[in-house]
């Protein structure tokens, strides 16, 4: 055991030791050791998870329906309840697409889809800043891969031209709204690039954008009017959708192929039907939440504009980085902000590159302008 103790000591001495915070939640507030703080690290972008009213409305809407708290099986065996198909059809139709397939989480989706679809004859070209779950999916797939510089489509195009003929298929993989910098991919440009050859496939993860962006809450793909042209459009329910799980929107053929080959789908118990019903309930509400999205946008502009030159200028969304630099300084700054009543956490290597440790602020529609102004005064 001393091996792991020593490893832990090394992590601690570099200022990167992680601990599970023991906190209590109450709406947008977090309480830790008797101190109440405004949660500035929430993924509940529309404030739906914090809304008891919505939950009551949901519970009333499912009166008399059979929606157990466990599916007791993988969907391929006996765990497939009608509500799954209902949600999948609903999602596909929201995007005007043929099919959608649910996964238990974004992590399951991202570690299941690429290993199912990519092989040694497939080249994966992924943005340098894609989420850890995508990296794990790429590694699990065993396919050759290259990372292009973040949002550098010139480099991506050169890589495509150089390699596409040597492979049967090429996958371009990106997030739409990046989780650490809060900036946004140019999906239309990526669609244009993928159309330059018939063997190029585009994979987009909208985890941070679904619900929070687009006129009807359908993400950056809706905002940039290209949802119909993204081969694999992934989204998750654990953030703005205030639930749990994930989906991929794709063609009917790819859906059927994934049902036959995606291991996290085949070998894991499906989410509880009750949970899926809640997701469906929220999904159907998405178009009506435009006011919340607008408030989130105003909050984001206010904060990003005041953090200009310190990371704010990078952000194009409700995720705003405040870059401190060294891990220990960053941890100290976050601690200071928590003392002042703002629940902030440092994001350190290996999550972000060395020397760019940051306080990553994520806003919600529940936060008031006045609270952001107070935070800005305190961060300076
Ligand atoms: C949060 C996140 C995931 C993981 O989704 P879970 O449902 O929490 O497993 C995947 N991709 C991105 C980009 C994310 O931010």
> Which residues have a Cβ under 8 Å from the Cβ of 240 and sit 6 or more positions away?
43, 44, 45, 46, 48, 210, 211, 212, 217
Which of the four pLDDT bands, split at 50, 70 and 90, describes residue 141?
very high
Residue 13 burial (CB count, 10 A) = 9
Predicted local distance difference test score (pLDDT) of residue 77: 93
Determine the pLDDT at residue 1: 76
Cα of 358 vs centre of ligand 1, distance in Å, is 20
Q: pLDDT at residue 19 above 90? A: no
Pocket of ligand 1, candidates 42, 102, 108, 110: which has the most ligand atoms within 8 Å of its Cβ, to mutate? 110
Q: 233 CB contacts (<8 Å, ≥6 apart)? A: 95, 97, 204, 206, 221, 227, 248, 249, 250
Mean pLDDT calculated for residue range 358-375: 97
Task: Tell me the best of 131, 211, 234, 264 to mutate to test the pocket of ligand 1, counting ligand atoms within 8 Å of each CB and taking the most.
Answer: 131
**First vs last C-alpha separation in the chain:** 44
| Site of tokens 């993988």 | 74
Is residue 15's pLDDT more than 80? no
Return mean pLDDT, the chain. Answer: 96
Q: pLDDT tens digits for 236-249?
A: 999 999 999 999 99
Atom of ligand 1 nearest to the CA of 43: 1
What does pTM read for this prediction?
Answer: 0.96
The CA–CA distances, whole Å, from 342 to 131, 304, 366 equal: 26, 17, 14
Contact status, residue 240 vs residue 217, Cβ threshold 8 Å = yes
348: confidence class by pLDDT, cuts 50, 70, 90: confident
Please write the tens of the pLDDT for every residue from 194-221: 999 999 999 999 999 999 999 999 999 9
Per-residue pLDDT of 292-345, as tens digits, reads 999 999 999 999 999 999 999 999 999 999 999 998 999 999 999 999 999 999
The CA angle 113-117-118, to the nearest 5 degrees, is 110
**98-136 tens-digit pLDDT:** 999 999 999 999 999 999 999 999 999 999 999 999 999
Closest residue (by CA) to atom 1 of ligand 1?
Answer: 207
Rounded distance between C-alpha atoms, residue 269 and residue 245, angstroms: 12
Does the active-site annotation cover 318? no
Measured in residues, the chain has a length of: 380
**Catalytic residue (one of 42, 43, 243, 362):** 43
43 an active-site residue?
Answer: yes
Q: What percent of the chain has pLDDT over 90?
A: 91
The count of C-alpha atoms lying within 13 angstroms of the C-alpha of 241, restricted to the half-sphere facing its C-beta, is 31
Predicted pLDDT at 152: 98
Residue 108 bears catalytic tag: no
CB-ligand 1 contact for 104 (6 Å cutoff): no
Q: How far is the CA of 133 from the centre of ligand 1 (A)?
A: 7
Q: Is the dihedral of CA 208, 211, 212, 217 positive or negative?
A: positive
The number of the ligand 1 atom at minimal distance from the alpha carbon of 179 is 15
| Cα(340)–Cα(47) distance, integer angstroms | 23
Q: Give the three-state DSSP class for 237.
A: coil
Q: How far apart are CA 343 and CA 335, in angstroms?
A: 9
Alpha helices in 78-169 (DSSP H): 82-94, 106-117, 132-141, 153-163
pLDDT range class, residue 16, cuts 50, 70, 90 = confident
- Percent of the chain scored above 70 by pLDDT? 100
In the reported structure, the alpha carbon of residue 255 is separated from the centroid of ligand 1 by a whole-number distance in angstroms of: 20
The confidence band for 351, taking pLDDT boundaries of 50, 70 and 90, is: confident
Per-residue 3-state assignment (H helix, E strand, C coil) for 33-58: CCEEEEECECCCCCCCCCCHHHHHHH
Distance (Å, rounded) from C-alpha 312 to C-alpha 327?
Answer: 19
């Amino acid at each position: 055991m001393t091996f792991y103790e020593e490893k832990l000591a090394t992590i601690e001495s570099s200022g990167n030791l992680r601990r599970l915070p023991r906190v209590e939640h109450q709406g947008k507030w977090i309480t830790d050791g008797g101190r109440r703080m405004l949660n500035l690290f929430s993924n509940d972008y529309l404030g739906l998870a914090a809304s008891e009213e919505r939950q009551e409305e949901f519970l009333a809407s499912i009166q008399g329906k059979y929606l157990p708290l466990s599916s007791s099986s993988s969907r391929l065996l006996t765990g497939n309840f009608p509500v799954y198909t209902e949600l999948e059809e609903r999602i596909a139709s929201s995007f005007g697409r043929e099919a959608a397939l649910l996964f238990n989480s974004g992590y399951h989706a991202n570690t299941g889809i690429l290993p199912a679809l990519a092989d040694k004859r497939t080249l994966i070209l992924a943005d340098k800043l894609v989420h850890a779950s995508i990296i794990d999916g790429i590694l699990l797939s065993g396919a050759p891969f290259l990372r292009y510089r973040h949002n550098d489509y010139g480099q991506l195009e050169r890589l495509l031209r150089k390699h596409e003929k040597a492979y049967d298929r090429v996958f371009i993989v990106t997030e739409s709204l990046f989780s650490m910098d809060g900036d946004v991919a140019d999906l239309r440009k990526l669609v244009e690039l993928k159309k330059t050859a018939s063997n190029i496939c585009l994979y987009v993860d909208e985890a941070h954008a679904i619900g929070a962006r687009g006129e009807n809450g359908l993400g950056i793909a809706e905002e940039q009017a290209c949802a119909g042209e993204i081969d694999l459009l992934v989204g998750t329910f654990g953030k703005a959708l205030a639930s749990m799980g994930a989906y991929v929107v794709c063609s009917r053929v790819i859906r059927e192929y994934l049902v036959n080959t995606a291991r996290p789908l085949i070998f894991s118990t499906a989410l509880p039907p009750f949970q899926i019903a809640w997701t469906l309930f929220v999904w159907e509400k998405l178009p009506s939440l435009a006011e919340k999205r607008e408030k989130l946008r105003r909050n984001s502009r206010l904060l990003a504009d005041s953090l200009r030159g310190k990371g704010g200028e990078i952000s194009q969304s409700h995720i705003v980085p405040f870059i401190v630099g060294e891990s220990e300084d960053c941890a100290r700054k976050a601690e200071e902000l928590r003392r002042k009543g703002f629940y902030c956490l440092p994001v350190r290597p290996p999550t972000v590159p060395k020397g760019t440790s940051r306080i990553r602020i994520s806003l919600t529609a529940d936060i008031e302008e006045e609270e952001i102004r107070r935070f800005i005064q305190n961060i300076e």
